[in-house]
Amino acid sequence: MSAPRKATAESGEDEGDNCNSKDVISRETLPSSSQKKTPRSVTHKDLENADNSEKVKLSVQNFQPSNYEDLFKDATESESIWATSGSFLRDKSSSEDEELAGPSQTVPPQLSDDSTRVPLGENKDYINASYIRIVNSGEEYFYIASQGPLPSTTDDFWQMVLENNSNVIVMITREIEGGVIKCHHYWPISMKKPLELKNYRVFLENYQILQYFIIRILQVVRKSTGTSHFVKHVQFTNWPDHGTPASVDGFIKYVRFARKSHLTGPILVHCSAGVGRTGVFLCVDVVFCAIEKNFPFNIRNIVAQMREQRYGMIQTKEQYFFCYKVVLEVLQKLLTFD
C-alpha cells in the first residue's frame, strides 16, 4: 500500500469518540531520567487514568501542511531539521505518578492473533507476525508487526516480505544487545557475497551508516522463479539496552525516513518480540501522518487499536511515555517556530 487510504464504515471507528477527542491530543507526564525502577506493562487502567487526568493545552497556530516536510528533513539532509511554523493542535497531559526508567523486561515471544496473523503461502502456514490496521481521522494505516527472524524462520520471513510486496523493513533492535541475541542476522554481511537460503538468495546492493540508523538496499531473489524484489532495510541502532532513547531527535528522523521510503505493501516492522518498540514506531508514525495533514489524533485510541490486533503492543509504561515525549518534542518545536 503506497499511501494511507480512506477507511470504510466497516473500520468500526467510533464517531462519538472522534468528536470528544477532536483538536485534542493525549499526553502522559514524562518519566524522570533519574528514576531507576523496573518497567511494568501498560494496562487498560493506565490508559483510562491518562485520558481522565489533568490537562495541559498547547496551541500551535498558522501551520501549513505543505511546510511539514521542512520540519522533518531526511537524515541524509541537513542536521538542522527544525525550520517551519506550527499547527493548531492541542495537547492534554496526565498528572499520574511518574514511572521508572530502568531495564526493559525480557518478554517471551507472543503468539499472533489468528484473526490478524499473516498467512504464508497457499497452506496459510504460521509465522509470528500480525497485520495491523490503524484508523485515524478516516484514514487507514497498514503495517505488519513481526517477531525478529530466528535462524529457523529466516526463509519464512523473506517469503512474507515478497508475498506482501513490502518495500520497507523497519528494524528497531541491534542483533545483540547486552550480550543477548535479539535478532538473527537475516541479510548479507558483505556486498560481495549474497546470503544463501533454502528458497531465497539475498543480495546487499548498497548501504549507508548514519548517526542513528543504517540504511540498506537489499535484493531478494526467489530461487524457484528467478523473480526479484528490492527492499529498503532501515535499522535503528540508537535504542539503548535498557529503557528508551534519551534523545528523541534521532527517532523522529528515523520514523520520517521510513515513511518517506514507503512505496508498496504494508510497512513491515520488527524488534525482537515484535510488540514493544514495534508498537512505539507504529504509534508515532500514525501521529506524524496526522500532524502532517492537520488531523486530530488520540494516542490512547491508537494504542488500543494496535492491542486489539496483536497482544502486548507497547510493553511498558516507559515506552508509552516515550510516544508522548516524541510527539511533545515535535509540537514544542512547532510552537517555537510559530
Active-site positions read 271
Distance CA 46, CA 157 (A): 34
* CA nearest to 317, candidates 227, 243, 263, 265: 243
CA–CA distance from 53 to each of 3, 20, 50, 56, 179 (Å)?
35, 15, 5, 10, 40
> What is the phi/psi pair of residue 202, to 5°?
-110, 125
Within its chain, how far is the Cα of 280 from the centroid?
5
> What is the phi/psi pair of residue 101, to 5°?
-150, 60
Cross-strand partners of 221: 201, 228
Burial-class residue 338 by CB neighbours within 10 Å (0-12, 13-18, 19+): middle
* Cβ-contact 337, 83 below 8 angstroms: yes
- Write out the three cell numbers for 230: 528490492
> What is the phi/psi pair of residue 227, to 5°?
-70, 145
CA–CA distance from 87 to each of 67, 299, 322 (Å)?
10, 18, 21
Other beta carbons less than 10 A from residue 66's beta carbon = 9
Cα angle: 328, vertex 42, 280; to 5 degrees: 45
